[in-house]
Amino acid sequence: MQGIIGKKVGMTSIYSVEGKNIPCTVIEAGPCVVTQIKTEKTDGYEAVQLAFDEKKEKRTTKAMKNHFKKAKTSPKRKVVEFRDYGMEVKHGDKITVDIFIEGEWCDVSGNTKGKGFQGVVKRHNFSGVGDRTHGQKDRERAPGSLGGSSDPSRVFKGMRMGGRDGGKKVKMISLKVLKKIPESNLLLVKGSVPGAKGSYLIIEK
């Protein structure tokens, strides 16, 4: 799948030709460097490895320094493989935001914001247990029964309970490319995408 690595800049809104205010996300998409081309013969599968965002040399291992040196580029922070890339690329090539066309659709994936430990109302959209008129005092946001006590005498796997929420990989599919600004490597896609400002995203055509 043809794509690029990017970084979330933030959200804004633009006006359409009809005068509608459209919310959109600003993504710094590339430029990415092709650091490795994997083939069926050498690696057992076909993929293109892209690298994005500058990294200090002193924070890079010797092995990775040599890896980036082969591609004639400086050390990068984010390295991602794309299978079935769909376009001819060479070792050391630069992939820019120009691969996208305004008006086409793309998929954007990234890690959501971590929420820490959350209860069942926020984590699983529970409604809470009843109201206070029937004698309960402080149990509005409690999960309720977790199962039988004498039989089966245990909590089944997968029971929806409180726990750590967020921080998961999420893919938003079929987002419209509203605008691209090649001179600033910016891509504007309709709606919101997962992650906080400055987090890495994978944008696929």
Q: What is the pLDDT of residues 52-90, one digit of tens each?
A: 999 999 999 999 999 999 888 999 999 999 998 878 888
Query: Is 132 within a domain?
Result: no
Query: Is 15 within a domain?
Result: yes
Residues 87, 2 contacting (CB under 8 angstroms): yes
Query: Is 136 within a domain?
Result: no
Query: Is 143 within a domain?
Result: no
Query: Is 119 within a domain?
Result: no
**CATH label of the domain that carries residue 32:** 2.40.30.10
Give one word for 175, left, alpha or beta, with left for phi > 0 and alpha for psi -120 to 50. Answer: beta
| 37 C-beta neighbours (distance < 10 Å), count | 17
Residues 191, 24 contacting (CB under 8 angstroms): yes
136-190: per-residue pLDDT in tens?
Answer: 777 888 888 898 888 899 999 999 999 999 999 999 999 999 999 999 999 999 9
Full domain range(s) for residue 12: 3-114+169-204
**What does the CA dihedral 13, 28, 200, 72 come to, rounded to 10 degrees?**
170
Nearest to 4 by CA among 114, 117, 87, 119: 87
Residues 146, 161 contacting (CB under 8 angstroms): yes
Query: Is 154 within a domain?
Result: no
pLDDT at 1 over 80: no
Query: Is 28 within a domain?
Result: yes
Query: Is 144 within a domain?
Result: no
Q: How far apart are CA 147 and CA 156, in angstroms?
A: 8
12-21: per-residue pLDDT in tens?
Answer: 999 988 999 9
- Give the single-character DSSP code of 82: E
Number of domains in the chain: 1
Q: Could you give the 3-state DSSP secondary structure of residue 95?
A: strand
- The tokens describing 160, both together, are 């929806």
